[in-house]
Amino acid sequence: MERRVNDRPRLVVIGGDASGMSAASQARRALGPEELEILALERGTYTSYSACGIPYLVGKTVSSPEELVARTPEEFRRDFAIGVRTETEATSIDVAERLVRTVDASGTVAEEPYDHLLIATGAAPRRPHLPGADAEGVFGLRTLPDGIALNAYLDGRAPSRAVVVGGGYVGLEMAEAFLERGIEVTVVDGGAEPMGTLDADMGALVREAMQAMGASFQPHTRVTGFETEDGVVRRVLAQDAAYEADVVVMALGVRPNSDLARAAGLEIGPTGGIVVDRRMRTSAQGVWAAGDCVETFHRVSRAPVSVPLGTHANKQGRVAGTGIAGGYAAFEGVLGTAITKLCGLEVARTGLNETEAATAGFVVETVVKESTLRAGYYPGAEAVTVKLLAERGSGRLLGAQIVGGAGAGKRIDVLAVALWNEMTVHALAGMDLSYAPPFSPVWDPVQIAARKLAERMG
Amino acid sequence: MERRVNDRPRLVVIGGDASGMSAASQARRALGPEELEILALERGTYTSYSACGIPYLVGKTVSSPEELVARTPEEFRRDFAIGVRTETEATSIDVAERLVRTVDASGTVAEEPYDHLLIATGAAPRRPHLPGADAEGVFGLRTLPDGIALNAYLDGRAPSRAVVVGGGYVGLEMAEAFLERGIEVTVVDGGAEPMGTLDADMGALVREAMQAMGASFQPHTRVTGFETEDGVVRRVLAQDAAYEADVVVMALGVRPNSDLARAAGLEIGPTGGIVVDRRMRTSAQGVWAAGDCVETFHRVSRAPVSVPLGTHANKQGRVAGTGIAGGYAAFEGVLGTAITKLCGLEVARTGLNETEAATAGFVVETVVKESTLRAGYYPGAEAVTVKLLAERGSGRLLGAQIVGGAGAGKRIDVLAVALWNEMTVHALAGMDLSYAPPFSPVWDPVQIAARKLAERMG
């Protein structure tokens, strides 16, 4: 499959994960092997795995790394006639000559010509250069091998104290995974509350649940380095404190991995992501990009954003694959929707939070409303807190945050659809949502909040 | 509170349940007792109870009838300064003289003048006049006293075989309640499958779950009467069959209880419901109506419909109450959204089913897609089946049906918001919905179905 046949065009994909392999598969669905050659270059050994599943692997909810792999390189070759070259890194792109330079595990350098190129280089973890950061026991958690390495370390060393640096989604999921393994855990974060993509009042609910499960949270804390012993991490150092640790996970988020594109002269946006149009075309002829490495459009702020999530990567990959195969599809932007399950709580958000709304120039009205996830009289009615942000004057919904029991989180999708359609909280309050006693009070919690905010705004 | 004071206008409410008391409370929030006198007339003894909770009372999920009462007459008097006269039936309305004639439990007749009148007479059960229908052991299940009476009968007689006539939401909820009490149950229905508001292919999934739990289902069956012994029901008779029964529940649905309004000369629509405008005003000056007795607007079919649900009653009551108090609010119509939990399944629908779409003149494309409610590798990923209907050509979403495990049902609200905004399945497939492994595959089940249908439609 991997030798070039001159009478058919060739697609080269850089990066064998969600967006790259979605694009490749989609292109293959449209064009058979006699019409399009496809070669995917993957730096690592895995293709198409669920990065979102890594914390569950560490927490042992998922028992083996293979379960996180949607399709192996062999399956892509066999079922899709897609050539996959693993342990092969793209080192540069020559857009004038239309070729990619590569180096494989043995150090062999090659040039791969392309007619269509898809850049799907993903995201790189933010890892500040701190003294001791290379010590044994300090882990990132971006790739499946990262997760496997951490797991092996935990199994082998049985550490008793963990520090997680960064209290975002992955950081807190990891903190819970440590708790599930009986490891004491401290989360240190630069902000006042964990989950910085939520407003602090909602983040506080998450912190309380974490603390109730035995995790410790250190706010306003900037890590300055690591104390080691025989090359193994022992303490995490901050401005004016230190935290004992046998194992450390760095979870400070990611940035678009656009270095290769930048070096090739492609346009890079203000967020550091590759600039693409709605079809996922970059500024260079014949070059497409998709997934965590690109910059996309936020439908509420109307600003460029980088949102590293598998859902977008997957959709963008399909859009690019359709376009590469000569069809038309468009990626219509994001809302910043996200969800997680943490310490017995479901936590979700969509749209803009208060800080983001202010940055985008909105003046907002907000409501925070607690209600229940079942009729009051139906046994097991758990609490839910819904926060809504609306534009002053127009009442247009701008964002939503939900923290609550089982069934709370996925309600964020109702608000995401409302945002997508630029609905007002007034319209939201009047909508025909489903009701039965095992599912909600007569007014769904999201409508109770919308009604409250609408009433307040008149 | 109940004596008229001439210098303030008077609101009379006929019917002390969801819509009536919502309207009264809403009017009271806007106008104090010195500005508006409010008198509610209730035929029964309860106010503001959850009719949707009655099956759970019978199934003993809810332990006492009082739990289903949101507010008692005494609470309305004390907390809202709303006069409530229970066991008082309105016998006629004189719209020219602006008064309501009543009779109370003692047979005393009275006339109640009004400035504003709200008709909230609810729905009446469909009970065909069949031989033996008055036998002991045959129950309706519309009111809380119905539920209490059935419960007392079950506790006292400990019947072993039940027949439920009608396989809609309430019928099936009742069938499950019988199973939970260890009573053998047969559901007889006129259609091919239970849940006639779903298409038969989706109704079949519900039937299979019912049968797996031990219930029997008899399709295409019209009940012709009841065999009795000493005045107690013994068998349910159909065209060419008979079913042993110690207890029978009639659950053939309801019709708008608009007799009083009709007799008063108010306009009644083709569905038998009172015609109201968006503010819930009837054809008579100063007369408003809300809840199960009215006819409302279906946003997809654009036809008048009667949808007897507490959610609408509640919202319409608030709209009417706001209007009565001199404010402006509008009820923007319904989508036919409904949900229930049955035999371990969550079942939900919104918009039009195939029959309704055809009646409304739509030519539809449909998809039925099975997927899972969690990432495949996440433990406990239950199945869900999503059916979508879209308009041929435009791709506009017209309706949706969902049957599946925990977390399936409330996803109908995503589709309800999409319907409300007249979205296409193409747009739906591209939306930014939430994803994390404990909640869904990378593509949410509703988007998997939407994508499939969009692809098929091109």
- Weakest-pLDDT range from A31-35, B125-129, B403-407: B125-129
B220 to each of A270, B152, B162, how far by Cα in Å? 65, 31, 19
Q: Long-range contacts made by residues B66-74, C-beta under 8 angstroms, separation at least 24? A: B67/A377, B68/A377, B68/B144, B69/B144, B71/B21, B71/B47, B72/B46, B72/B47, B73/B16, B73/B42, B73/B47
Residue A50 has pLDDT above 90, yes or no: no
Mean pLDDT (whole number) for B308-332 = 97
Burial class (CB in 10 A: 0-12, 13-18, 19+), A153: middle
| pLDDT value of position A59 | 87
Residues in chain A: 458
Contact (CB<8Å) A407/B412: no
Asked if residue B240 and residue B261 are part of one domain, the reply reads no
Q: Which residue of B has its CA nearest to A328?
A: B458
ipTM confidence: 0.94
Could you read off the pLDDT of A341-396 as tens digits, one per residue?
A: 999 999 999 999 999 999 999 999 999 999 999 998 999 999 999 999 999 999 99
Confidence bin at B271 (pLDDT 50/70/90): very high
Which residues in chain A have Cβ-Cβ distances shorter than 8 Å to B18? 442
Among B46, B307, B396, B417, pick the best mutation site for testing chain A contact (most A Cβ within 10 A). Answer: B417
Q: What residue has token string 């229940």?
A: A372
**Nearest-angstrom CA–CA distance, B366 and B450:** 10
Confidence bin at A304 (pLDDT 50/70/90): very high
Among B22, B29, B402, B413, pick the best mutation site for testing chain A contact (most A Cβ within 10 A). Answer: B413
Beta strand A223-229 with A216-218: parallel, antiparallel or unpaired? unpaired
Is B152 an 8 Å CB contact of chain A?
Answer: no
Confidence bin at B313 (pLDDT 50/70/90): very high
Contact (CB<8Å) A412/B431: no
Contact (CB<8Å) A432/B53: no
Contact (CB<8Å) B68/A377: yes
**Nearest-angstrom CA–CA distance, A205 and A184:** 21
Mean pLDDT (whole number) for A264-285 = 98
Q: Which of B199, B219, B252 is the last residue of a domain?
A: B252
| pLDDT value of position B84 | 96
| pLDDT value of position B4 | 53
| pLDDT value of position A4 | 53
**Nearest-angstrom CA–CA distance, B175 and B218:** 13
Distance from CA of A300 to the nearest CA of B (A): 12
**Nearest-angstrom CA–CA distance, A267 and A249:** 33
Q: CATH code at B429?
A: 3.30.390.30
Contact (CB<8Å) A61/B378: yes
Residues facing B39 on adjacent strands = B12, B83
Residue A123 has pLDDT above 60, yes or no: yes
Contact (CB<8Å) A410/B439: yes
In a domain, B331, yes or no: no
Asked if residue B102 and residue B18 are part of one domain, the reply reads yes
DSSP state of A281: B
Which B residues 67-106 touch A at CB under 8 Å?
Answer: 67-68
**CA B259 centroid distance within chain:** 19
Is B405 an 8 Å CB contact of chain A?
Answer: no
| pLDDT value of position B394 | 97
Is A66 an 8 Å CB contact of chain B?
Answer: no
| pLDDT value of position A374 | 93
| pLDDT value of position B59 | 87
Which residues in chain B have Cβ-Cβ distances shorter than 8 Å to A348? 434
Contact (CB<8Å) A333/B434: no
Mean pLDDT (whole number) for B71-82 = 95
Asked if residue B439 and residue B418 are part of one domain, the reply reads yes
Mean pLDDT (whole number) for A256-282 = 98
Q: Which residue of B has its CA nearest to A375?
A: B53
Asked if residue B26 and residue B112 are part of one domain, the reply reads yes
Is A412 an 8 Å CB contact of chain B?
Answer: yes
Contact (CB<8Å) B443/A311: yes
Could you read off the pLDDT of B31-58 as tens digits, one per residue?
A: 999 999 999 999 999 998 888 889 999 8
Which among B261, B17, B252 is positioned nearest to B117, based on CA atoms? B261
Contact (CB<8Å) B336/A432: yes
Asked if residue B284 and residue B183 are part of one domain, the reply reads no
Could you read off the pLDDT of B345-367 as tens digits, one per residue?
A: 999 999 999 999 999 999 999 99
- Residue B52 annotated among the catalytic residues of the structure: yes
Asked if residue B363 and residue B309 are part of one domain, the reply reads no
Among A299, A335, A372, A431, pick the best mutation site for testing chain B contact (most B Cβ within 10 A). Answer: A431
Rg of chain A (C-alpha set): 23
Mean pLDDT (whole number) for A62-91 = 94
A66 to each of A62, B67, B129, B443, how far by Cα in Å? 10, 50, 64, 20
Is B417 an 8 Å CB contact of chain A?
Answer: yes
Q: Kindly provide the residue ranges of all beta strands, DSSP E only, lying in B34-108, ordered along the sequence.
A: 37-41, 83-85, 88-94, 99-104
- Strand (E) or helix (H) holding B169: helix B169-180
Q: Which of B217, B252, B287 is the last residue of a domain?
A: B252
Asked if residue B182 and residue B36 are part of one domain, the reply reads no
Order of all β-strands in the sheet with B88-94:
B88-94, B99-104, B109-113
| pLDDT value of position A142 | 86
Residue B360's φ and ψ, nearest 5 degrees, are -75, -5
Asked if residue A164 and residue A200 are part of one domain, the reply reads yes
Which residues in chain A have Cβ-Cβ distances shorter than 8 Å to B427? 332, 420
Mean pLDDT in chain B? 95
In a domain, B231, yes or no: yes
In a domain, A228, yes or no: yes
| pLDDT value of position A2 | 45
Q: CATH code at A222?
A: 3.50.50.60
Asked if residue B429 and residue B358 are part of one domain, the reply reads yes
DSSP state of B325: T
Contact (CB<8Å) B333/A433: no
| pLDDT value of position B6 | 61
In a domain, B63, yes or no: no
In a domain, A283, yes or no: yes
Asked if residue A368 and residue A265 are part of one domain, the reply reads no
Q: Which residue of A has its CA nearest to B441?
A: A311
Among B300, B315, B431, B447, pick the best mutation site for testing chain A contact (most A Cβ within 10 A). Answer: B431
Residue A111's φ and ψ, nearest 5 degrees, are -120, 130
Structural domain including B178 reads 138-252
Residue B1 has pLDDT above 50, yes or no: no
| pLDDT value of position B179 | 95
In a domain, A332, yes or no: no
**Nearest-angstrom CA–CA distance, B249 and B223:** 12
Distance from CA of B222 to the nearest CA of A (A): 28
Which residues in chain A have Cβ-Cβ distances shorter than 8 Å to B174? none
In a domain, A231, yes or no: yes
Asked if residue B274 and residue B188 are part of one domain, the reply reads no
Asked if residue A314 and residue A232 are part of one domain, the reply reads no
Domain count, chain B: 3
Distance from CA of A139 to the nearest CA of B (A): 22
Which B residues 223-252 touch A at CB under 8 Å?
Answer: none
Contact, A324 vs A370, CB < 8 A?
no
In a domain, B306, yes or no: yes
Could you read off the pLDDT of B91-105 as tens digits, one per residue?
A: 999 999 999 999 999
Catalytic residue among B52, B130, B149, B232: B52
Contact, B189 vs B219, CB < 8 A?
yes
Contact (CB<8Å) A435/B309: yes
Q: Give the percent of chain B with pLDDT over 70.
A: 99
Mean pLDDT (whole number) for B154-181 = 95
Mean pLDDT (whole number) for A83-109 = 97
B24 to each of A458, B81, B296, how far by Cα in Å? 20, 10, 20
| pLDDT value of position A51 | 86
Q: Which of B233, B252, B271 is the last residue of a domain?
A: B252
**CA B64 centroid distance within chain:** 21
Mean pLDDT in chain A? 95
Active site positions of A, annotated: 52
Is B425 an 8 Å CB contact of chain A?
Answer: no
